[in-house]
Amino acid sequence: MTDTFAQPSDAADAIAEQAARLRQETHRDAHAAAEFGVNNPMAEMHHMVKGERDNALVECLSYVLGTDETAADAYIARWAAANGGDVESAAVRVKDQPTASRLALQRAEAKVVDALREAGTEGLSRKELDPLLGRLGWREEDRWLKKAIVAGTVVERRYGRSTRYVYTASASLPAGPTAEGAATQR
């Protein structure tokens, strides 16, 4: 970059354009790759490589501008806004953008929560919940359910031999055992 005869403003604009396009492309690719599920190692690798390239572009731009990386990021966002780019994705560095696996996990978690909300106070049995939890990825089913129970977003209710899982925002939680004494909370 320093061996060219380009004006610093032209060089800064060229770098900002490359960085903005890279960030927009990474955002779009992550959303597309999330359709393939939680475990997508190739998408993770591509995201990491693009993150390193983004870091190099920001470092180079900060050198050309004579500022720090925060100012270089702001310059990229301003360039995207001035040139009709997607400012939201151009303003976020690749390393800070969610990966395809994270997006797929968020979508799967949202489906579980939606199903629990739709079930209302009746809740879902583990047998009904397992296909939804299976989308979270290998060994994540139990972890997610335990975290939700500990966080208080899901309540485990036992009725005799059966267990139902209820989303607490849609459930009116009893203070103690019901009149029959069958339901307990954990």
pLDDT(141) > 70: yes
Q: Strand order in 162-167's β-sheet?
A: 124-125, 162-167, 154-159
pLDDT(185) > 50: no
Max Cα-Cα span within the chain: 85
Kindly report, residue by residue over 39-85, the tens digit of the pLDDT: 788 889 999 999 999 999 999 999 999 999 999 999 999 999 999 88
pLDDT at 19: 95
Distance in angstroms (rounded) separating the CA atoms of residues 155 and 171: 9
pTM over 0.75: no
Distance in angstroms (rounded) separating the CA atoms of residues 143 and 98: 21
pLDDT at 11: 87
Residue pair 167/116 in contact (Cβ under 8 Å)? The answer is: yes
pLDDT(9) > 50: yes
Task: Indicate the pLDDT class of residue 173, thresholds 50, 70 and 90.
Answer: very low
Provide, rounded to the nearest whole percent, the portion of the chain with pLDDT above 90.
40
Residues 6+ apart with CB under 8 A from 173: 155, 185
pLDDT(134) > 80: yes
> What are the φ/ψ torsions at residue 185 (nearest 5 degrees)?
-110, 150
Task: Indicate the pLDDT class of residue 4, thresholds 50, 70 and 90.
Answer: low
Task: Indicate the pLDDT class of residue 186, thresholds 50, 70 and 90.
Answer: very low
For the chain, domain boundaries: 8-98, 102-170
pLDDT at 158: 87
Sign of the CA dihedral running 108, 141, 143, 116 = positive
CATH topology of domain 102-170: Arc Repressor Mutant, subunit A (1.10.10)
Q: Which of 36-50, 109-123, 128-142, 147-161 has the lowest mean pLDDT?
A: 128-142
DSSP assignment of 69-132, as one string? HHHHHHHHHHHHHHTT--HHHHTS-GGGSPPHHHHHHHHHHHHHHHHHHHHGGG-EEHHHHHHH
pLDDT at 182: 38
Average pLDDT over all residues of the chain: 83
Token pair, residue 38, equals 């939680």
